[in-house]
Structure 1
């Protein structure tokens, strides 16, 4: 089996020189010889107790005039069900390592308040806790992914949480769950053993955390048909030593290793740049930083391969997305930012990278779902808008659990001020009904690019498509104009024998469907 990296596309490592000028047509070849599957869990989401993500996001005041189930906002639920989100990570993030789950169960009037020291220093009433989160996942039709408290919690606390949720026999914790309204076990499989233990989760060394993981994981038990998938804190960005240490000291005791990487427009944490006010030069640098994900996934995977050649351990990119300065006038601890056409291109590019590394990347979670960072949904009182990023997930949902089709693409370069990045990235898959889907992202700010993709021995008769683009990279959806950027039919592709020829408009995301 050839590795997907040999075919891939858009990474900065693979396209260091331009093979095609803009006056020419780029060529691609799609292979039909892979048995790999693009896990649906690559399309996961993240909902932390941060800003207006939970409170005034998913969980609203009982008097707000919107459709609700209990206090769960149903227009958000319905939007997320449409794009088939497969999992939702909660309660953090940094918040996870100061969260004590017993404070969030039982009668809400009796739950103690707590200070969210990581995000804005606000006081929370714990009205949204374990049962509320799992009801939200039930309404969404997705799997819960719970991050346990390793930083300020105890082994017993996490062990008890697992038992409370998953044990179906007789025990004090099972009885407590029944008293709190849920007789049957929840059967939660995905468990994070801490979060960012190298930073806000405890400032640990990789060697120390490796021992902590082994200790916590030993007491997080499998109960009957609720087998745990334990996910270890992995590296931040290019901390390859962390990955080396965890793979050496933990190895296949973990189901997954978490990688966190954010696209910073400026590359500077102190001044990350605006979400809406940027030049083409700013955009170009942002996309350079975005494409670093290819290098990170490749290099971390190579280290994992040394210790786990059978690829039993998943690389879980459970925090990714663009991180800009907050919107002017908003609480800096709430991380509320707008979402532009640039962000849609970032989303499509990252998802293509994950798809093309599906032999190792089995799960990912966009940061975050509602009102925080690169959100899918933004709300303002009873109003709700879907962001350009949401529409990319809508377009790409066709890849979930589909068979991966490796692609070799000779992409032209996008050049600016003497620097180059690959102008196009892409991924392809075939679903259970035989339909082939190809997702293209044209990063060039101003030039259309033609791709001629040889489909080899794949049988197909016609091609249709959808596109997401806008007049300007800085365009956004607003509460006054919520449909400025939306999916539209695409007619720029045609069949030429066994080749699909497609003209990709500048700064666009295009998904083609080929079928008999």
Structure 2
């Protein structure tokens, strides 16, 4: 029996709501057909946004949405996406599938989407192929309330009131698709661009996100921070509020990533092992950040994470469409537990991507929509948003089929909400063995424990023909016994327990 010990009176951090953020890029069918169908579509919509998709996303309390990319961000010129739609420029989406981008979803549509979702905005500006003036004028167009050329242009395009942008990314993956830059060159460009991201609202300003490393590129992190901190006043914190980190779970290698649905137990454990590598990345990049920012004023922003497999056969390889199984649910549960437990440094994360791309929470096909196993993990974990992380320890044992890819049998995180309820999320990584857990909560009387469980065969998935194969059910047979409680997790499962 594995033992879980929880100390609810020992608060160790605040879990930012933004850790449960999402990402929508002009890529494949993420936006067009997935989120946005246009006002004249026979698919039910409000101002072009799919009603079914919005309804489903509101159920998981999306806190923040990153847009327009991704690699697309550094070839996106925002003025192409404003004004009458019939007059907007068309372009070829050179990064993703070579298809025509008609710019019918632009700045106004994005903020309408955020309004319908009730979420914060995270706009990624174009540093790679754009100009300082272009980025500065976009900030003015979006946020300035007074008399100015951009504010007048926005009003002429139908929005008299300005919008609020909480986060602004200054370029994306500038070590790669965003310009193939060296870290010192990018850092100097970042310093220049961010200077012109003005706080027009005088409400604390936009949180500026600096392009951080690709996975384990620790040289990038150190060089960027060193350059941004050089000759900067201490209170400026290197001119940034966040440093991004991108890491994808790829079972194979980048040439042969592996199938989303056809995999064996060896692939299962390799995938989960590679997911757990996220913790090393957080800790090692965090240690470098601590040298410059010991008070943790700069957040680590993991704004691209998730599984990346070979695309589904028969689909456009540039659309990155993949199915979603219980393996993906475990990847989501593991990562979210890690982000919670490292909430002192991790301040935002954005799953890639929201609909129809990579580890999507929703899949659509015409009028049909299906919720993936990953969707239900976000639904089960949403009680952690804005809650306080509490100290906890969990006994685990190593499992797996290969020494190089062993994993713990369980991962977890624990928080307490504003009502004093304790929320436990826990994953059973075993492909074929159940786990019995005995939990003890110190200095607190346990009156009631309820739970929900997401479980299934490792290959279990939801399809348009069978959309309810995988969905949460009540966690049965929770046994209270003299201040402790016991429960059992089946193999390949994710659970959420509430302790009152």
1:29 aligns with 2:5: yes
- Secondary structure (helix, strand or coil) at the match of 1:318 reads strand
What residue in structure 2 maps to residue 365 of structure 1? 350
Instruction: Summarize the Cα distance change of 1:455–1:379 in structure 2 as closer, same or farther, 3 Å threshold.
Output: same
Taking structure 1 as the reference length, the TM-score comes to 0.93
1:92 aligns with 2:69: yes
Measured in 1, the distance between the counterparts of 2:67 and 2:435 equals 40
Backbone CA RMSD of aligned residues: 1.1
C-alpha separation between the residues in 2 aligned to 1:181 and 1:62?
A: 16
User: Comparing 506-515 with 446-455, which one deviates more in the overlay?
Assistant: 446-455
| 1:257 aligned residue | 243
Describe the superposition over 1:255-274 as per-residue Cα deviations: whole angstroms up to 9, x where unpaired: 100000000011x0001000
Aligned twin of 1:303: 288
- Aligned match of 2:422: 436
SS at match of 2:488: strand
Q: 2:435 matched to 1:449? A: yes
> By how many angstroms is 1:36 displaced?
1.5
Give the CA deviation at 1:42. Answer: 0.2
Matches within 5 A, 1:285-304: 285-304=270-289
Structure 2 match to 1:374: 359
For these two proteins, the number of residue pairs brought into alignment is 489
Q: CA distance change for structure 1 residues 108 and 428 in 2, over 3 Å: closer, same or farther?
A: same
Tell me the CA shift for residue 498 of structure 1: 2.6
Question: 1:58-457 residue pairs with structure 2 within 5 A?
Answer: 58-226=35-203, 227-251=205-229, 252=237, 253-266=239-252, 268-418=253-403, 420-457=406-443
Question: Do 2:261 and 2:324's aligned partners in 1 also have CA atoms closer than 8 Å?
Answer: yes
Is this contact kept in 2: 1:356–1:406, CA < 8 A? no
CA contact (8 A) 2:304 2:349 kept: yes
Secondary structure of 1:384 counterpart: strand
- The 1:459/1:169 distance shift into structure 2, 3 A limit, reads farther
Pairwise CA distance, 1:67? 1.5
Deviation at 1:504, TM superposition (A): 1.3
Per the TM alignment, residue 69 of structure 1 is displaced from its structure 2 partner at its CA by: 1.1
Contact 2:23 2:304 (8 Å CA) reproduced: yes
2:350 & 2:184 partners in 1: Cα distance?
26
CA offset at residue 62 of structure 1?
4.5
Query: How many Å separate the matches in 2 of 1:103 and 1:441?
Result: 45
C-alpha distance in structure 1 between counterparts of 2:303 and 2:363, whole Å:
21
* Unmatched 5+ stretches in structure 2: 230-236
Question: Aligned to 1:405, what secondary structure does the other structure show?
Answer: strand
Is the contact made by 1:378 and 1:384 (CA closer than 8 Å) also made in structure 2?
yes
Cα shift readout 1:369-409 (whole Å, capped 9, x = no counterpart): 00000000000000000000000000000000001112211
Q: Deviations over 1:114-144 (max 9, x none)?
A: 1100001111111100000000000000011
- Deviation of 1:319 after TM superposition, in Å, equals 0.1
Equivalent residue number for residue 444 of structure 2 = 458
Matched, 1:496 2:481: yes
User: 2:221 is paired with a residue of what secondary structure?
Assistant: helix
C-alpha distance in structure 2 between counterparts of 1:61 and 1:230, whole Å: 31
Structure 1 residue 484: Cα displacement = 0.3
C-alpha separation between the residues in 1 aligned to 2:167 and 2:414?
27
Task: State the match for 1:49 in structure 2.
Answer: 26
Q: Structure 1 unaligned segments of length 5 or more: list them.
A: 1-24
Question: How far did 1:158 drift?
Answer: 0.4
Provide the residue aligned with 1:486 in structure 2.
471
On the 8 A contact 2:12/2:391 being kept in 1, the answer is no
Question: SS of 1:450's equivalent?
Answer: strand
Cα separation, 2, equivalents of 1:63 and 1:177: 23
Deviation at 1:63, TM superposition (A): 4.8
CA distance in 1, matches of 2:402, 2:215: 27
> Cα gap change, 1:307/1:109 in structure 2, threshold over 3 Å: closer, same or farther?
same
User: What's 1:16 paired with?
Assistant: none
Contact (CA 8 Å) 1:492, 1:504: kept in 2 or not?
Answer: no
Deviation (angstroms), 1:418: 4.6
CA distance in structure 2 between the partners assigned to 1:125 and 1:364 by the alignment: 29
Change (3 A) 1:64 1:187: closer
Q: 1:477, CA displacement in angstroms?
A: 0.3
SS in 1 for 2:37: coil
Cα deviation, 1:340-385, whole Å, max 9, x if unaligned, reads 0100000000000000000000100000000000000000000000
Offset, 1:459? 3.7
1:40 equivalent in alignment to 2:17: yes
Give the distance between the partners of 2:321 and 2:368, measured in 1 at CA.
Answer: 16
How far apart, CA to CA, are the structure 2 residues paired with 1:405 and 1:256?
A: 24
The residue number in structure 2 matching 1:14 is none
